[in-house]
Homo-oligomer: A and B are copies of this chain.
Amino acid sequence: MSQSFAFRLVATAGAARAGEMTTPHGIVHTPAFMPVGTQAAVKGVHHDDVRAAGTEILLANTYHLMLRPSAERVAALGGLHAFMRWPYPIITDSGGFQVMSLAPLRQITENGVVFRSHLDGALVDLTPERAVEVQALLGSDIAMQLDECVKLPAERREIERAMRLSLRWAERCKRAFETAPKGRALFGIVQGGDDLNLRQESLRALGDIGFDGYALGGLAVGETQDVMLNVVAEIAPALPSARPRYLMGVGTPADILDAIARGIDMFDCVLPTRNGRHGLAFTRFGPINLKNAHHAGDPRPLDAQSGCPAARDFSRAYLHHLFRSGEALGGTLLSIINLYYYQELVAEARAAIAADRYADYVAQTKEQWLAKRDLHGS
């Protein structure tokens, strides 16, 4: 608990970066994939398995935790690390994104956002200052500023309004964060939708305020992958190179590889666990849908060379059977398998960047997804 937040670049390969992020709860190697523990739990997966998969940092959702069990209760129970028994780094979002997507009634003003809890209808006030306070109570190693995220496509005027409001909130978050316990980090969030000029303006203003790291927000919210990667390619290299860069809510294995190539260091996404629960495995041979009937008699494991015991030891036939039978263990095993795959993907990316062969690594990985599809089925 003694180390203060810090980041150092270890290697680069083109725009791709490998780094080391120090936090009060330990070191995170970047590029890093952060599984989502929405309600202080990664859905269906024991923390020990999340860790064993290679996870160095978890994301938890402020919106959910402030409503239940409440930030004050978590603080009284020793903070999120103690509460959920995850002694490693934790990042929290600000709650803003999920207010927009989950709360039944919400009103955005200059002051912040007022919304009704989707749980009990209670009226809740989320200001930039409160967002920082809640994250401090949770004890997260990395807190995010409150921002307003606009779904794409949207009018330029609407994107611009939300971007400027997010900037003013960024300033207030930064001030509020000065009273938070020392050593933790606060990240600013670049907004501006698919408008590169607005994005540039946002990132310059955030850089002037000064944050411990910078996120790209408002992506993976309805736009095509091309649009997203174009924004990332233009904006990531313009961010301060001495700070970590986080692409929020992204994505598929391909998204992650392509965004790393464009200079992103951190990712969070529910895909490995959500798709796992629905029967889809991410593997070196591309995605494999275990619900398909042709797996019913297949004695092969998903990947005999995987670092994940479940991917090596259980047959496709057995995994198929679990899904056909409605056994929750199927979703749990595939979530674990997918978490291992995502962590393996970024671990290999780190090694490839260190060896200055990142482009080759991406090309080989994508080729393997396609080339073995016929052999391994989907």
Contacts and interface: CB of A to CB of B under 8 A. Distances in A.
Interface of A: 39-46, 64, 68-69, 73, 76-78, 83-85, 296-297, 299, 313-315, 317-318, 321-322, 324-325, 327-329, 332-333
A84 to B, nearest CB: 6
A127 to B, nearest CB: 25
Given A39-B327, A315-B77, A327-B39, A321 B68 contact: yes
A154 B186 CA distance: 70
B43 A321 contact: no
A328 B277 CA distance: 11
Q: Which of A45, A77, A324 has the most CB of B within 10 A?
A: A77
A64 B327 CA distance: 12
B325 A328 contact: no
30 contacts: A39-B327, A40-B318, A40-B321, A41-B322, A41-B325, A41-B327, A42-B329, A43-B327, A44-B328, A44-B332, A45-B329, A46-B329, A46-B333, A69-B324, A73-B297, A73-B317, A76-B297, A77-B297, A77-B299, A77-B315, A77-B318, A83-B318, A83-B321, A84-B318, A85-B313, A85-B314, A85-B318, A328-B328, A328-B332, A332-B332
B327 A296 contact: no
B83 A329 contact: no
A69 B328 contact: no
Contacts of A318: 40, 77, 83-85
A227 B286 CA distance: 59
A44 B329 CA distance: 5
Contacts of A85: 313-314, 318
Contact of A77 (B73, B84, B317): B317
Nearest to A73: B297
